[in-house]
Structure 1
Amino acid sequence: MTSNASTGSTLWGRSVISGETTVSYLLNHQVFASQDLHLARDVLSDLNSIDALDAIGTNRNVDVAIHFAELAGIGLIYASFGGGRVYIETPAIDEENLFFMFVTSGSAQVQHGKYECNISSDLGLVRNMRLPLSATEDNFSTLGTQLSLSLLRAHAQSLTGHDVIRSDLVFDPALDLTRPETRHVRDTLQYVATALDGPLTQFDGPHIRTELRDMLLTNILMLLPNSYSDVLNGRPAPMAMPHYVKRARDYIHAHAAQPIGLQELVEYSGCSYRTLQSAFGETFGMSPMVYVRMVRLNGAHNDLLVAEDGDTVATIARKWGFAHIGRFAAMYARQFGVIPSETLRRRF
């Protein structure tokens, strides 16, 4: 079922197509490859992946390759369609899944339900698999992951507390790669894909795979705009709350980089210690001081993403009130699934 490309070659994960060099992923996990348009159409149709696949223009060659790797219950997918222009239609699927798609070469004009956009290296897509999708693709390849909403909700609850998440989880369909946060998610996905093609091909440790999966889920939930973003990032959430909780919450956000004590919050909010503790638990699923820590960690995280040359983990941690760097690194890793030095290293 597989075939070698006539329009290019592959060497160490770099595909040369019509004189352009692009990066390929999951090379050790290829499940289908063909230059036969009819065969590709039939096979992908049988997999319920497409309704239509056609070459457009004078160059009617196709070079379809699908790579798939499993990671602790989730799937990573790399797909490429060669150096020409291709039109593709994919059906709606009756599953509560989202596909997070980052373009690795070329571009595509996409119709996703009522949403229309041109995706490229600057703009990816969050596809709701319950909506049909059609696209005209040019020299197109993509790396993505398909995740169930139930898994994402469960991971969000593990990050925030069981009673915090009350509404449906909805993502902005546009993956804006001018945002450093979105680039960080893309880099994390590429890092995981590279690990699956490298060290994890020889070592099949389930704990490492689970940690990589959780790191990816945490980054997607914390850094991509979605309906849980306010709660996950410790920002004021659109929910009814007692006025004294709102006063304490607003005070925390305004003074997060300064020393804040519980007695100070009690005095500012105008209620008793016990009332504030109880109300914060009912509203946010955590105590006031845990909320303070979450806001500070998010402030440090955002600063690491946009750090300048010369900035260090230690200086950013101290700015946000973390005097002990080891404890800061441990708390940061629990919240974001990656150590702070790794975030600093991957910043753009």
Structure 2
Amino acid sequence: MHAPSMPMDDKQTPEGVSVPHGRVISTPDLSEARVRTQELLKNVHGMKVLERGNPFQARVEYRRLNGIGLMSSGYGAAVEIFCTPPISIVTVNFVFGGTMLIDEGTTGETTAVADRSHAGVFCFRENVAMRWSPGLRQLMLTVDKPLVDRCLRNLLNEPLHAPLRFETVMDLNQSGQGITAATGTLLRALDQCGKAGPPPVLAKEIEHNILTSLLFGQRHNYTDRIFSAQPLPAPRVVRRVVELIHSSPEAAFTVADLAEFAGVSERSLHSAFRRQLGTSPMSYVRRHRLELAHEELLRVDPSTGAKVTDVALRHGFTHTGRFAAAYRERFGESPSATMRR
């Protein structure tokens, strides 16, 4: 992998990044590649070959997890892809092995560049044309716009007064580190959980991580309002949220869900938890999930072939090493030792 801090090295192939258990398109026919890709994304776009030096050979892999998707794509030849609104997704476009020239609007001139150190971020509020150099491969993170808007409203605790617009270029050495890591976590979860996909708790955690990493990390027209001061909610709000967490052990809560339940912004709820409990809402949720995992491990019969990894994933822990470390710190023994009792 070429992108800085991209934790996806184990997914590298000679052609770029592979999407685990994704749907695959492989064809030398440009029209077929365009039509079948449109079917995957549910959005119309155009494509043309810019030069004949390299043969056109499409290789596209796509996998969707609720409102989040990953698409790996490469075409061999230099191509231009052009998109016209309305388009129902926000994308983060990581580039490997080449350069992408970007034109937004109707000028026909290059307005931005994506390369090994910079990703492209698109809301598709206006026309977008992307010119790919020969041999370029892309890993594109797709996020349904309603998911992004909902997360933003929860952060602000107020309606949106204008459509969300991100700055087009993301510096992967600076603002892009969070979304890069979140995308790597999604890749790892898709790989480890197989075709069935991550369990609901883990899927919700990954989704929220991607949304907040994008909204906090990449500048947009609501950035200043997100970081403005907000009043702290009353103490009873934290009590109600804690009661909800304990009364619904199977629920895949994110901080967005908890803030919506409480009727406050995510930032306000976070500040209230810090003030009253000395921890963040999601740290409290993870601690509760750790307790539930401990209870399950005590019940598990190792002779049935049960695995610690399966228990961890079921309770929203995608990184088994971190799960084991947190478990040992909390309970004074390894998860496997608990299961062998």
- Alignment TM-score, normalising by the size of structure 1: 0.58
Question: 8 Å contact 2:20–2:190 — kept in the other structure?
Answer: no
1:293 aligns with 2:271: yes
Question: Residues 164, 128 of structure 1: CA spacing in aligned structure 2 closer, same or farther, 3 A cutoff?
Answer: closer
Amino acid at match of 1:140: L
What whole-Å deviation, never above 9, does each CA across 1:266-289 have from its counterpart, x for those lacking one?
xxxxxxxxxxxxxxxxxxx67xx9
Work out which of the residue numbers 22, 27, 30 in structure 2 matches 1:29.
22
2-structure distance, mates of 1:205, 1:89? 35
Aligned length: 248
Please give the residue correspondences for 1:1-348 in structure 2 after superposition, counting only pairs within 5 Å: 13-16=11-14, 23-37=16-30, 39-41=32-34, 43-44=36-37, 49-54=44-49, 56-59=51-54, 61-82=55-76, 85-113=77-105, 114=107, 116-138=111-133, 139-160=135-156, 162-163=157-158, 165-179=160-174, 181-202=175-196, 204-232=198-226, 234-235=227-228, 290=268, 293=271, 330=283
1-structure distance, mates of 2:151, 2:32? 39
2-structure distance, mates of 1:45, 1:228? 30
Question: Residues 144, 58 of structure 1: CA spacing in aligned structure 2 closer, same or farther, 3 A cutoff?
Answer: closer
Question: Residues 205, 45 of structure 1: CA spacing in aligned structure 2 closer, same or farther, 3 A cutoff?
Answer: closer
Q: Secondary structure at the match of 1:121?
A: coil
Q: State the match for 2:240 in structure 1.
A: none
What whole-Å deviation, never above 9, does each CA across 1:136-163 have from its counterpart, x for those lacking one?
3122111222233332121122234x33
Question: Residues 112, 72 of structure 1: CA spacing in aligned structure 2 closer, same or farther, 3 A cutoff?
Answer: same
Q: Secondary structure at the match of 2:271?
A: helix
TM-superposed deviation, 1:164 = 6.9
Question: Residues 227, 329 of structure 1: CA spacing in aligned structure 2 closer, same or farther, 3 A cutoff?
Answer: same
Q: State the match for 2:301 in structure 1.
A: none
1-structure distance, mates of 2:149, 2:45? 28
What whole-Å deviation, never above 9, does each CA across 1:182-234 have from its counterpart, x for those lacking one?
122122112212321332435542232122111111111111111222232x3
Q: Secondary structure at the match of 2:142?
A: strand
Amino acid at match of 1:16: P
2-structure distance, mates of 1:75, 1:182? 18
Question: 8 Å contact 1:30–1:65 — kept in the other structure?
Answer: no
Question: 8 Å contact 1:96–1:130 — kept in the other structure?
Answer: no
Flag structure 2 segments of 5+ consecutive residues without an equivalent: 1-8, 232-263, 288-315, 323-341
Question: 8 Å contact 1:109–1:119 — kept in the other structure?
Answer: yes
Question: Residues 328, 51 of structure 1: CA spacing in aligned structure 2 closer, same or farther, 3 A cutoff?
Answer: closer
Tell me the percent identity: 16
Flag structure 1 segments of 5+ consecutive residues without an equivalent: 1-10, 18-22, 238-244, 246-284, 298-320, 343-348
Q: Secondary structure at the match of 2:176?
A: helix
Question: Residues 92, 293 of structure 1: CA spacing in aligned structure 2 closer, same or farther, 3 A cutoff?
Answer: same
TM-superposed deviation, 1:33 = 1.2
The structure whose RCO (Cα within 8 Å, separation 6+) is larger is: 2
2-structure distance, mates of 1:198, 1:105? 27
Q: More deviation in 208-217 or 66-75?
A: 66-75
Question: Residues 331, 121 of structure 1: CA spacing in aligned structure 2 closer, same or farther, 3 A cutoff?
Answer: farther
2-structure distance, mates of 1:327, 1:50? 42
Amino acid at match of 1:173: T
Higher strand proportion, which one?
Answer: 1
Q: Secondary structure at the match of 2:85?
A: coil
2-structure distance, mates of 1:329, 1:130? 33
Q: Which has the larger radius of gyration?
A: 1
What whole-Å deviation, never above 9, does each CA across 1:251-310 have from its counterpart, x for those lacking one?
xxxxxxxxxxxxxxxxxxxxxxxxxxxxxxxxxx67xx949938x98xxxxxxxxxxxxx
1-structure distance, mates of 2:99, 2:150? 33
Amino acid at match of 1:228: Y
1-structure distance, mates of 2:38, 2:268? 50
Question: Residues 195, 188 of structure 1: CA spacing in aligned structure 2 closer, same or farther, 3 A cutoff?
Answer: same
- Alignment TM-score, normalising by the size of structure 2: 0.59
